[in-house]
């Protein structure tokens, strides 16, 4: 599989969902496979670096390559092969749609997100 696109509706404003998901201190609250995530600066901007470590102790590094506050952000892996884009669309003042789109230029996705990961995000942020 070269690409994976999944989405979820969340009972929170798009701006709240955006702020929650872009903040590295929240990542471990909804992605069980990630044990720690950090950035080189806060607030983040194009060029900021995200680093995370998974449950197996493997570190991954990403650069923030696209950023539209409360609308979208995109990360690119250090080897420039893996891309992930989060897109936020308001449905109402209290509800939003999040699209998670990940893809690789070469090879196949190693660990694509499942719908369960986004369902976990929904449960976590709506609490």
Do you know the residue count of the chain? 127
Query: Residue 127's pLDDT is what?
Result: 93
Q: Residue 70 belongs to a domain with what CATH number?
A: 3.30.530.20
Query: Residue 12's pLDDT is what?
Result: 98
Q: Alpha carbon of 83 to those of 61, 69, 91, 101, 106: distances in Å?
A: 12, 18, 26, 8, 11
pLDDT tens-digit map of 24-37: 999 999 999 999 99
How many domains in the chain? 1
Tell me the backbone φ, ψ of residue 68, rounded to 5 degrees: -130, 105
Query: Residue 105's pLDDT is what?
Result: 98
Domain containing 22 equals 3-126
What is the DSSP code string of 29-72? HH-TTEEEEEESSSS--TT-EEEEEETTS-EEEEEEEEEETTTE
Of the candidates 93, 81, 60, 71, the one whose C-alpha atom is nearest the C-alpha of residue 22 is 71
Query: Residue 45's pLDDT is what?
Result: 98
pLDDT tens digits in sequence order for the chain, 127 residues long: 999 999 999 999 999 999 999 999 999 999 999 999 999 999 999 999 999 999 999 999 999 999 999 999 999 999 999 999 999 999 999 999 999 999 999 999 999 999 999 999 999 999 9
């Amino acid at each position: 599989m070269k690409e994976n696109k999944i989405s979820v509706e969340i009972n929170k404003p798009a701006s709240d969902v955006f702020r929650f998901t872009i903040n590295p201190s929240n990542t471990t609250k909804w992605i069980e496979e990630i044990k720690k995530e950090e950035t080189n600066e806060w607030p983040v901007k194009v060029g900021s670096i995200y680093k995370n470590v998974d449950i197996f102790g493997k570190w991954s590094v990403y650069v923030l390559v696209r950023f539209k506050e409360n609308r979208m952000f995109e990360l690119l892996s250090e080897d420039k092969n893996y891309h992930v884009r989060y897109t936020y669309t308001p449905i109402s003042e209290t509800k939003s749609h999040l699209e998670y789109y990940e893809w690789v230029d070469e090879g196949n996705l190693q660990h694509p997100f499942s719908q369960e990961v986004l369902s976990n995000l929904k449960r976590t942020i709506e609490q």
